[in-house]
Structure 1
Amino acid sequence: MVKRIIYPPMWLVFGVCAIFACNEFYPGPRFTSHGSQAIGGVLLLAGLALLVVAGGLFKRAGTDLIPFRTVSALVTTGVYRFSRNPMYLGMAAILLGVAVTVGAATALLVPPLFMVIVEWRYIRPEEDLLRNLFPEEYPAYCARVRRWI
């Protein structure tokens, strides 16, 4: 298996840096207002909440939060009933919240780019791993719950 040195939270940090770089150097059209800042703040807080809740469910199940480490349980309860990847979804919501808050149109490109990177670098390989570890439960779970939302 490929060793992954850069973990998903680092991609979140890179994304936030990219958003601020877009805002500073290549903002494109601006859409700043009190309303957009409020919406951005709500998205950011919702993403943080999703990360905390999803991470708590992993901890409670006794499985590792770091991708491709010790996987001891398939978590399918709580927010995992609605998304197979709520932690990644939370990170994407944080990036979208930051992008909306800064109000630079080019910053809105970062969250979808993050989602593509995470899907190909982490989610797809994680799905293969889970399919091998839980050959009956995981395909049934995939049939019930979508990858993102």
Structure 2
Amino acid sequence: MVRVIADVGRPGRHCVVDDSRDNRSLGTSGPDVANLGLVRPPFVYLGSIALGLVLHLLWPARLVPPSVSTPVGAIVTVLAIALFVSAVRILRAAGTPVPGNRPTTTIVRTGPYRFSRNPIYLAFSLVQLGLSLWVNSLALLTTLIPAVAIMWLVVIPREERYLEARFPSEYSPYKASVRRWL
């Protein structure tokens, strides 16, 4: 089906959208997106961080001496943010959307995607690890475990099934040659 959409910000401008691709072209009966929004990765990690901070306020338990935790945590957090920014830029440069609730357009194999199939999720995990060190919080570190488990057991397998169905000849070799996390 072809739709014409008016550009609200620019009167007289229109965009033609081809919606003819349906799920049958994927060979599946599932949706044409990697993430339905039921378990959104940013919210998994934000919830994990929020819970960890609340638990830290209720039962503060330190990990290591502050003279070690603060600088190491800051460095890990900054490196994680740099990894996230790099991964997002590479996806945008390739013309594929970052949110998993929009159809993926290509398999990206450059930048951080050369060594990790999930550098954005790796960055989210490293941000929480860095923050837990920075604020020296055992609770914040502990709540990272269920967040990673949700990603490992729920989110990533669903996305991988989607990518294998959408890009059968491209994703399988990529999956075989690049690790899930590191």
Q: Compare the two structures and name the one with the higher helix fraction.
A: 1
Other-structure match for 1:54: 87
Q: Which residue among 17, 36, 45 is the counterpart of 2:69?
A: 36
Q: TM-score, normalised by structure 2?
A: 0.75
* Structure 1 stretches of 4+ moved >4 Å: none
Tell me which structure has the larger Cα radius of gyration. 2
What residue ranges of structure 2 are gaps of 5+ in the alignment? 1-29
Does residue 105 (structure 1) correspond to residue 138 (structure 2)? The answer is yes
More strand by share: 2
- TM-score normalised to structure 1 length: 0.91
**Corresponding residue of 1:78:** 111
Could you tell me how far apart the structure 1 residues matched to 2:62 and 2:69 are?
14
Flag structure 1 segments of 5+ consecutive residues without an equivalent. Answer: none
CA distance in 2, matches of 1:111, 1:30: 14
- Matched to 1:39, the amino acid is V
Give the length in aligned residue pairs: 149
Paired residue secondary structure (2:116): coil
Identity %: 30
The structure whose RCO (Cα within 8 Å, separation 6+) is larger is 1
